[in-house]
A and B are shown apart, each in its own frame.
Chain A
């Protein structure tokens, strides 16, 4: 179950996206991974398996994001997809009561099959449709807390909350792997810490300007 270390000393983690069909799982991950230069490629390839390299606190992480089929009739295949995953993102649609129930089912199943080893995030998507919201934030937050998960609101349409959600997820993954940090990423020869971020969970901002996708050079500089 432990995350593997890949070629350049990068931590390979498997992240599964679960949730009913049409809650926008794929849009979330596409938003996150797409940026200026791989934009075109993704369109011609498929969107169900995507990779993203991250460096947080000098530690390299490669997120391997697995989209899964959400239709009811494929539900039984779930375990094939989420076995051995390090993190799971369970998505529901804030305007759809039923999708939240399904999300709860997924969470229950995950906890049963994977135990507590899996970093869990519950995401309410389509936050741009605030006025049609049927799942109350309080309920969702409470539920998430009760299963040891974090809750986020995202809008794939407006590109809101997605980066934050993945960053938080990545940090938690790194924390989990923290004790067995791999030697290749600690290089004594350099002293400076690029970026110099501190790991604090409430540093997440939810009102980022809606600029470039990956937050690169697209104009997201504050």
Chain B
């Protein structure tokens, strides 16, 4: 990228040649011979003699043979030359290799070549080479020929075993780590800050002796470029995130790229021969966001482009071919922040070194991104969409095409005509439904006609008419086709149902209609994507609304084959409106995809990142503190989340030492506003939400399920009030409906919490309202949520108050049976304290741990004995409880009890009258030893 360069007119060798030996120089230039010039530092002016000069003038070896083929030069791997004083050498690629006549064999690198012109305007070549072909000083001064990678830059600046280096490096690094950027800075402000740092670092590093020694222009250039690359690498993760926040228009671009991401390379006019290189190139391009400086990013572009040529035999990639390929790569790359990347490369390339090349790549990609937003791409995509014909034009295909065409045009009449028995046939029947001997063959002939179009007809993509109707957004046609009993869940070649396609193309009306007609909402395509995934990744907010509105059925936390949930996708593609929508409807923010990224880490948008991150760290601080890594969510997330916090504190690139104070404090110290943040994240009116929350808890207390449902937005109109006008549609956004709904717009979600961290499910479990518990669970309320300080789960509360049907319901729905609260008590401990036999029995059947210890070292049996619950003690022993276990005070259960019956029970156990462990749980504890069932495992993946 940055290559060695010098002005040959200042080169001592060249000066000697042209001044001391003008006759030789003139001869060489008249004859257009090639001249080699060793680079500046390697030549001592006083020691250049005639023979040295003659050695560096090269004549083509076959000078006398006139080359008659026009392409004589290109075939040979190497080119042979003879020097003016009769020595032989050859040029092999970038090297000159000396041969016969030289004292020793040398491989000398060609640094660059330059065309000079003689008096007849004929050009001759001057090569700048790494050292003299023969002789020259023994000691070669250190030289970096080019900077190619980040580590090159690093070596260039620091790698000199020099204490001065270490010192300067420390100064620069400490300066870098003191960086503060306001979180709401504009891109220009961010750039100014970075530039200031760059200049300071430049001044600091230029004090180093080995940098001061640099003489040539290119040395200085290397220094500037290396410095820029070094500092940007250090501060990139902060700056870049902030830039991503500034909305340079990426979410718009993303909508375009998502819309067109199914484009086929042939649609863009890319030749088949490039297709092998495309996937390789795409791989290279994917590392773009891992590159930290304009230098590296350009290098990534360069590799991308050069890997394209590798597979082809073409002479070179011309711009005519390159641009469509870049468009294709941009569409397929899944990079969600093109604008920011291009801005960064352009604006943060402070050193301006090698900028011509950088500018070229920048411009090419800019053009590709620009092209994506133009009409002409859309045209090629729509060609792609309409590609429902097969290769050969048969009668079937023609009819099929006219069928699909009419579907796409919403031409109901012709659709019906095509699907109906043709008039001439139906006229010849006795009765349209007749099956008499005469009529039956006519009808069956018609049905056997291979060219007949029906609701079952499929094209080469295996799409039915219903698919195309959904794709083109033709609700009326959908209605007609469904009336004719089209298969609503038919899948095409990609396993897309009509609902998938409607979501993919943002046809909300069709989505709603298909859903109301019973389309399966959680079907997966080949990539494991549900319709919700597609709506999220394509930024169709209105479709997302339509889907999550059917909350009971819609699985918002489904993971596709990359492990991405819809929330991952919405976060990645920067859709600031969809993220809160999903969270509101029970999306979990801590599911990890296969790259081990949470949705927060999948996002490049700081706004989304901070929102999600604060949710995650809230949860972290409230649950893992003191839970000792045990129990449901605390145990699952505790350690991991802590490490994640460290990672995010240091930014995406963990190598960075820099702390960005603002975002840091946001992610580190959010506990104070937990409750508020949690309930307000998705709403603009915190007080409204709080009010609603109060109402909700009162309703739960009153067992008022109708009110509860209403507050969750399950019913469009509440049972009382709200009379008179009704909304056009539950999701309608028209003015009238907006107003109508205003008072009730803030719907709660099942994840809301009060200031103690109680979820609705906690309250319902406490109150023992089975109906409400049922309802909440059906809405995917987190079953193992914990309160803030006590770390109680709903199961704890239900056990404490012996609401056995609630206990049952919770256990059946995947609630963890052995969570321990802040004092280590499991629900079983709670039951034993209070002598709740019914609940305890349920727990035991579901595999409750009879050996669980709380902070005092008590087993449940200790508790049962202490509180004199004999029958419970017996039950525990039958399930394997140890009567001899000693707690922290060195007491056995027997020591604690004051009840004769309990003594009796323990005696019986000792004598074997009661056999210990006679009863077994229904099933062994589902996840013994491993993290317990957690919310996201509840879903049965289809």
Which chain A residues have a beta carbon within 8 Å of chain B's beta carbons?
A: 4, 6-10, 12, 14, 17, 21, 25-26, 30, 35-49, 51-56, 58, 60, 62, 64, 66-71, 73-74, 76-77, 80-81, 158-159, 163-164, 167, 184-185, 187, 189-192, 194-198, 203-205, 210-222
Are the CB atoms of A7 and B319 closer together than 8 Å?
no
Are the CB atoms of B317 and A7 closer together than 8 Å?
no
Chain B residue at minimum C-beta to C-beta distance from A192: B18
How far is A213 from B120 in the complex, measured between Cα atoms in Å? 18
Residues of A within 8 A of B18 (CB): 190, 192, 194
How far is A12 from B356 in the complex, measured between Cα atoms in Å? 8
Residues of A within 8 A of B675 (CB): none
How far is A172 from B734 in the complex, measured between Cα atoms in Å? 64
- Contacts A190-B9, A191-B19 given: A64-B360 contact, CB under 8 Å? yes
How far is A183 from B846 in the complex, measured between Cα atoms in Å? 88
| A–B pairs, 13, beta carbons within 8 Å | A30-B316, A37-B91, A37-B110, A46-B318, A48-B318, A55-B9, A60-B114, A64-B360, A80-B370, A81-B363, A189-B15, A219-B66, A221-B31
Are the CB atoms of B308 and A46 closer together than 8 Å?
yes
What is the total of A-B residue contacts with beta carbons within 8 Å? 237
How far is A73 from B15 in the complex, measured between Cα atoms in Å? 52
Which of B310, B319, B364 is most buried by chain A, counting CB atoms within 10 A of its CB? B319
Q: Which of B275-330 contact A (CB under 8 A)?
A: 305-306, 308-310, 315-320, 322-324
Instruction: Give min CB distance, B189 to chain A, whole Å.
Output: 25
Residues of A within 8 A of B63 (CB): 219
Instruction: Give min CB distance, B237 to chain A, whole Å.
Output: 30
Instruction: Give min CB distance, B438 to chain A, whole Å.
Output: 59
Chain A residue at minimum C-beta to C-beta distance from B115: A54
Are the CB atoms of A212 and B73 closer together than 8 Å?
yes
Q: Which of B1-37 contact A (CB under 8 A)?
A: 5-10, 15, 18-19, 22, 25, 29-34
Contact with A along B110-142 (1 / 0, CB 8 A): 101111111111111111000000000000000
How far is A192 from B110 in the complex, measured between Cα atoms in Å? 26
Q: Within 8 Å of chain A (Cβ to Cβ): is B79?
A: yes
Are the CB atoms of B117 and A197 closer together than 8 Å?
yes
Q: Within 8 Å of chain A (Cβ to Cβ): is B481?
A: no
Instruction: Give min CB distance, A143 to chain B, whole Å.
Output: 25
Q: Within 8 Å of chain A (Cβ to Cβ): is B683?
A: no
Residues of A within 8 A of B305 (CB): 45-46
How far is A211 from B70 in the complex, measured between Cα atoms in Å? 6
Residues of A within 8 A of B374 (CB): 76
Chain B residue at minimum C-beta to C-beta distance from A30: B316
Other-chain residue from B31, B315, B366 in contact with A47 (beta carbon distance below 8 A): B315
Are the CB atoms of A47 and B318 closer together than 8 Å?
yes
Residues of A within 8 A of B126 (CB): 55
Are the CB atoms of A48 and B70 closer together than 8 Å?
no
- Contacts A7-B221, A51-B356 given: A69-B306 contact, CB under 8 Å? no
In the complex, identify which listed stretch (B212-220, B382-390, B553-561) lies at the interface while the others stay far away: B212-220
Other-chain residue from B115, B317, B353 in contact with A215 (beta carbon distance below 8 A): B115
Chain B residue at minimum C-beta to C-beta distance from A54: B115
Instruction: Give min CB distance, B407 to chain A, whole Å.
Output: 28
Are the CB atoms of A46 and B309 closer together than 8 Å?
yes
Q: Within 8 Å of chain A (Cβ to Cβ): is B60?
A: yes
Residues of A within 8 A of B366 (CB): 80
Are the CB atoms of A46 and B306 closer together than 8 Å?
yes
Supply 20 further A-B pairs (C-beta < 8 A) apart from A55-B116, A71-B320: A9-B7, A35-B73, A37-B91, A37-B93, A44-B310, A46-B309, A53-B113, A55-B115, A77-B323, A185-B7, A185-B9, A192-B22, A194-B116, A195-B118, A203-B120, A204-B121, A215-B124, A216-B123, A221-B32, A221-B122
How far is A80 from B371 in the complex, measured between Cα atoms in Å? 11
Other-chain residue from B73, B218, B370 in contact with A8 (beta carbon distance below 8 A): B218
How far is A22 from B361 in the complex, measured between Cα atoms in Å? 23
Q: Which of B835-863 contact A (CB under 8 A)?
A: none
Residues of B within 8 A of A220 (CB): 32, 122
How far is A8 from B432 in the complex, measured between Cα atoms in Å? 91
- Contacts A8-B217, A35-B125, A196-B119 given: A218-B60 contact, CB under 8 Å? yes
How far is A81 from B364 in the complex, measured between Cα atoms in Å? 8
- Contacts A36-B79, A46-B309, A217-B59 given: A211-B116 contact, CB under 8 Å? no
Are the CB atoms of A39 and B73 closer together than 8 Å?
yes
Residues of B within 8 A of A26 (CB): 316, 318-320
Instruction: Give min CB distance, A21 to chain B, whole Å.
Output: 5
Q: Which of B74-115 contact A (CB under 8 A)?
A: 74, 79, 81, 91, 93-94, 110, 112-115
Chain A residue at minimum C-beta to C-beta distance from B33: A217
Are the CB atoms of A219 and B371 closer together than 8 Å?
no
Residues of A within 8 A of B310 (CB): 44
Are the CB atoms of B117 and A216 closer together than 8 Å?
no
- Contacts A39-B73, A203-B121, A220-B32 given: A214-B115 contact, CB under 8 Å? yes
Instruction: Give min CB distance, B871 to chain A, whole Å.
Output: 84
Residues of B within 8 A of A68 (CB): 319
Are the CB atoms of A55 and B309 closer together than 8 Å?
no
Are the CB atoms of B79 and A37 closer together than 8 Å?
yes
Residues of A within 8 A of B353 (CB): 7
Are the CB atoms of A216 and B376 closer together than 8 Å?
no
Q: Within 8 Å of chain A (Cβ to Cβ): is B249?
A: no
- Contacts A9-B7, A36-B73 given: A53-B320 contact, CB under 8 Å? no
Which of B9, B31, B125 is most buried by chain A, counting CB atoms within 10 A of its CB? B9
